Amino acid sequence: GMVVAVVPAAGAGTRLGGERPKQFLPLAGRPLLTRTLMVLEATPQVQAVVVVCPPGAEDETWRACVEPYGLAKVAAVVPGGAQRQDSVAAGVARAARLGAEWLVVHDAARPLARPELFARVLAAAAQTGAAIAAVPAADTIKQAGEGDLAQSTLDRSQLWLVQTPQVFRRDLLERALAQATADGFYATDEAGLVERMGEKVKLVMGSRDNLKITTPEDLALAQGIMGPAMR
Ligand code: C5P
């Protein structure tokens, strides 16, 4: 079936401290969003890409991040919404019109995911209907209470840190998004919506260098991981 990637890039990116949304900030000389789209371009299983940008930034996104770089798979740049989930829903609606049977949701802010990770998550999703990249927690994770006092310590052996790509059979994600909207439920990842319907989501070993670029330090870290050859 046809595989379409939905790339949410409609966040304000305010934690990165720039005046421009973070997807336009340069990473190794190209916009962060472009770096992420280049990975999808190099992933043979992905046939088309829908980019979701801040409302009103469609033309700028196309001109700054897509057009100059020969990204032939980018089929559309569509406006997102107030919450990540709204942005993903907008991208999913466009991907459905392209004929998608499988949806690959991948953060614009994760330019270091590799094509082989996309291949493994897609292969796992083919078995279960949904699969996501994640890594076992290396640090101990505590729940904090008032005044930043440690309240409890979670059992690390059961904890995974969730990344993207997240892959879903199209009808499954559409149902999960519709149900969440109807219930006024918001999650920080799409798999959370699928889980709450009682559906299986397979965790696939991601990579610790598949950073989500959130703060200025992350940009520097990503440059370092990409190596001198790419700087
Ligand atoms: O805010 P956070 O870092 O969790 O965002 C993850 C991804 O979701 C980013 O690529 C961001 O651009 C996107 N996003 C979006 N629409 C929003 C909020 C976030 O597309 N309203």
Residue 82 identity: A
Angle at 80 between CA 74 and CA 85, to 5 degrees: 110
Local mean pLDDT, 10-residue blocks, the chain (231 residues) = 97 73 90 97 98 96 97 98 96 98 98 98 98 98 97 97 98 98 94 97 97 91 82 48
* Best mutation site among 25, 36, 87 for ligand 1 pocket (most ligand atoms within 8 Å of CB): 87
CATH number of 3-230: 3.90.550.10
Alpha carbon of 174 to ligand 1 centroid (Å): 19
Residues 6+ apart with CB under 8 A from 42: 115
What pLDDT, on the 0 to 100 scale, is given for residue 201?
98
CA distances from 192 to 41, 72, 199, 227 (A): 27, 31, 10, 34
Q: Indicate which residue's Cα is closest to atom 14 of ligand 1.
A: 11
What pLDDT, on the 0 to 100 scale, is given for residue 19?
67
pTM: predicted TM-score of the whole model, two decimal places = 0.95
Fill in the DSSP letter of residue 62.
I
Asked if 154 contacts 226 with a C-beta cutoff of 8 angstroms, the reply is no
What pLDDT, on the 0 to 100 scale, is given for residue 196?
96
What ipTM was predicted for this assembly? 0.94
Alpha carbon of 36 to ligand 1 centroid (Å): 14
Ordered by start, the domain boundaries in the chain are 3-230
Distance CA 75, CA 49 (A): 6
What pLDDT, on the 0 to 100 scale, is given for residue 31?
96
What pLDDT, on the 0 to 100 scale, is given for residue 21?
80
Pocket lining for ligand 1, CB < 6 angstroms? 8-11, 52, 80-84, 87, 107-109, 212, 214
